[in-house]
Structure 1
Amino acid sequence: DAVDGLNVRLTVNMEYQTIVEEELDAAISFYTDQTHKPRGCIIVVEPKTGSILAMASRPHYNLNTREGLQEGAYHFAVQSLYEPGSTFKIVSVTSAVDSGKATFDTMINCTPYPVPGSRPVTDAPRSYGGLTVAGVLKKSSNPGAFRIALKSGWPTYKKYFDLYGFSSKTGIDLPGETNSQCQDGSNFVNFSRISFGYSLMVSPLQVAMAYAAIANDGVRMRPRLVDGIYVDDKNFQPSPPVEVCRVMSVKTARDLRNALFHVTDLDGTAKRARIEGYNVGGKTGTAHKVKPTGGYFENRYTVSFVGMLPVEDPAFVCLVVIDDPTSKHCHPGGGTVCAPVFQKLATRLAAAMNIPKNSPSAETNKKASRTQTSSTPSKPPRR
């Protein structure tokens, strides 16, 4: 005789999932034109447990009836790979700071870096002189990120690359998870590109869990989708959170969160992610799309933003990725496309989670902190 399977309880919260689905659909619709519809995903993670609170991908289809099934309708968040762009600069910064090669106040030369046998690393059309390590994240400087990575050297950089989980699957309880791809970083040209998020492909889930490690005071968790199993009506067998490894020290993680907080300053790349009453931290990413014939498209991008709220003790980390958006409203970038999506989404999530807002005194201190840490005024780059 047939035996009934066991019931499972997921970590997914249906209220949060509904919010994510609505905001992702709205974003995809807004950045669609008559000839093209972008792909995308949103992942919301609870840092301390690794629990996936909500996750959605587009395009998608009805898994029961296969209605809407089309080419490319797979789980973008788990099965897709993309070049992350500037969201990957956390590896350069973490490797240098946590290994003692630099501090967040170390000054970095951010002028173009000549790479023998290849194009120089630049911030074109912008150009920065000197920025602190924290300023490199805030302004998203490519030559700055590479010079920070050079302070670490490839062996140390690769160590943190691995600790962040970019060399292995996350181990989520879903079929078909895709592993990353990365060029050999011992090659100087490759290393120069990897340092700011090119010459490698990662999954959105890998990026989300890496930032969750920063939010969790440096400890990376295995993504948790199953909260537990009902053995019978009265017995529930929980599935406990699993620590994978410590990526960095507690101090490095907290200082890094502070640096990510200032990325949302008015002169940072993620000013559109700011939410009144909350301290938001995060990082923008913009990467040119690869041509099938080789090289990169000039005006086609994969854009992203990873944010956490509240940054001092994050209740959640949220990654937004939009692949190949079209827009008449702005130049597509992580700060112009994905940061506003995060802002709308995180505002709704904070209300749904009953996360208290800052006290008036905290708001005053926050504004003073932003004023004191502002660097030389300049136009924020679209990264």
Structure 2
Amino acid sequence: MNTPIRRLGVVISVMFLSLLISTTWVQFVSAGSLNAQPTNSRTLYKEYGADRGPIKVDGQAVAESKQVKDEYKYLRTYPGGALYAPVTGFYSITYGTTGLEATENSLLSGTADQLFYRRLSDLLTGREPSGATVELTLNAKAQKAAWNALGNRKGAVVALDPKTGAVLAMVSRPSYDPDRLASHDGAAVKKARTSLLEDSSDPLINRAIGGDLYAPGSTFKLVVAAAALENGYSVDSQLDGPASLDLPQTTKNLSNDEPGNCGPGDKVSLADALKISCNTAFAKLGMDLGASTVRGEAEKFGFGQKLSVPLAVTPSSFPAELNEPQLAQSSIGQYDVRVTPLQVAMISAAIANDGVLMRPNLISKVLTSDAKVVEQPSPERLNQVFSSSVANDLTSMMELVVQSGTGTRAQISGVDVAGKTGTAQHPGQSPDAWFTSFAPANDPEVAVAVVVENGGGLGDAAYGGTLAAPIAKQVMEAVMDR
């Protein structure tokens, strides 16, 4: 009789032990992976039911959470709309996070290590937990001016504070309405995202820092000019500037945008070559300097470097292997040279800041919900690109561009502006129009880069000086309160 009872006891003990092990495994060992399951509705409700901190520009929320009467409690909304969407990104229960919503997620959600004591205080006092406020460096007036000036044309605008690296404007068009992706209506969100993905104009791409990068056109001549000034040339050095440059190793020649040579006797000074944007002079100069010298100068400006602002920036590039004709084309910003508008703004910013390139940054400070500072990034030097004397020479040359060269439409009454135009050619397409500048030239407050894709509707008549320069002017005026 005792034997069957003992056997039953063993079976029951094994069952209890199995139950204990299984529950322990679920509650402790597998808890993390189970919580991370995208289908775990309880986790979703917990995450999206939190009071997420706002993203602000000049004290006004461009992204914020509002209480709603559904299972998620809070809905992410975007008062900044399409104007700020490429920067803020979106926060979606269906597709996750993008933009600053992704890079600053731990701060906005309140889970960052920096907010530990705040979370502990909330727990002890019974306060409702809330995320941190992320304040941006963007200047609302400059952002709006860039958006309006670019209009319905494809392209991007970036403005920087040359002395600190603060991003004052970052506009990419076309853009999108992030509210459509933050909705709690899953079917509507999927439909909106599908529509955006199928849109050939790629509205989800932040053209200012990524996507298919641009050929910089003649704005790259600033890099070649800097290399020349660092290698024995002066603003008065005479360059070869014929109407057509005979390229070695090929039967094709390189010509200027405007027919004819760039100066008497096919000669032109470095300063005048930049002022009138002489292709043949800079192509020949690039070949004389050599590929390694030009590439090295580009790298000092940040080419090839991975940057986080904290949005990830696609590195700009200068080709690794070049023959002489390819080097000539690259020296005028063509062939396989590729840049972001942010990179072009960084070129002007370094010149404006006595040759010192500051690290670009979008975050001004991070605050708790009761306005205590959690983070406040300090300006950070990225590189000493060249000496202040080289910067002064480049500034004087760029001033000539705006005073009497190809960039006169960027002139601002009572303010000295330094700038450079660019018109980047594409086979079978209208050119991209570029302009980069800074102002005031003697004590810069803002450096700008503007690109308008495919001629902005003007076709082959589009030039950087006519199309992009007026946009840059309006952004500079907005920053300077002109």
TM-score range, shorter chain: 0.7 to 0.9
Amino acid at match of 2:451: V
CA distance in 1, matches of 2:304, 2:465: 27
**Any stretches of 5+ residues in structure 1 without a counterpart?**
29-37, 290-295, 353-383
Higher helix proportion (structure 1 or 2) = 2
CA apart distance, 1:232: 5.4
CA distance in 2, matches of 1:252, 1:223: 22
CA distance in 1, matches of 2:459, 2:326: 34
CA distance in 2, matches of 1:226, 1:207: 20
Matched, 1:318 2:448: yes
Identify which of 197, 202, 205 aligns with 2:333.
197
CA apart distance, 1:231: 4.2
In the other structure, the counterpart of 1:364 is none
TM-score, normalisation: structure 1 = 0.81
Matched, 1:182 2:318: yes
Identify which of 83, 86, 93 aligns with 2:218.
86
Matched, 1:55 2:166: no
Matched, 1:255 2:381: no
The percent of aligned pairs where both chains have the same amino acid is: 31
CA distance in 2, matches of 1:94, 1:305: 18
RMSD: 2.1
Matched, 1:242 2:376: no
Provide Cα deviations, 1:188-218, integer angstroms capped at 9, x if missing partner: 2221111000121111111111211111110
**Any stretches of 5+ residues in structure 2 without a counterpart?**
1-45, 51-109, 111-129, 182-191
Aligned residue pairs total 331
Provide Cα deviations, 1:91-136, integer angstroms capped at 9, x if missing partner: 111111123x211110111013211233222215232221111111
In the other structure, the counterpart of 2:26 is none
Which shifted more, 183-192 or 125-134? 183-192
SS in 2 for 1:77: coil
TM-score, normalisation: structure 2 = 0.65
Provide Cα deviations, 1:33-59, integer angstroms capped at 9, x if missing partner: xxxxx4111111100000001111101
Matches within 5 A, 1:139-178: 139-175=276-312, 177-178=313-314
CA apart distance, 1:226: 0.4
SS in 2 for 1:75: coil
In the other structure, the counterpart of 1:107 is 238
Residues 278/126 of structure 1: CA separation in 2 closer, same or farther (3 Å cut):
same
Specify which structure has the bigger relative contact order, considering alpha-carbon pairs within 8 angstroms and separated by 6 or more residues. 1
Identify which of 295, 310, 334 aligns with 2:464.
334
Matched, 1:116 2:248: yes
Matches within 5 A, 1:126-137: 126-128=260-262, 129-137=266-274
Matches within 5 A, 1:366-381: none
Q: Does the Cα contact within 8 Å between 2:287 and 2:324 map onto a contact in 1?
A: no
Provide Cα deviations, 1:290-325, integer angstroms capped at 9, x if missing partner: xxxxxx12x611111011111112110111110012
Q: Does the Cα contact within 8 Å between 1:229 and 1:239 map onto a contact in 2?
A: no
Amino acid at match of 1:150: M
Q: Does the Cα contact within 8 Å between 2:356 and 2:383 map onto a contact in 1?
A: yes
In the other structure, the counterpart of 2:13 is none
In the other structure, the counterpart of 2:157 is 42
SS in 1 for 2:433: strand
Amino acid at match of 1:127: N
Which structure 1 residue ranges, 4+ long, deviate > 6 Å from structure 2?
none
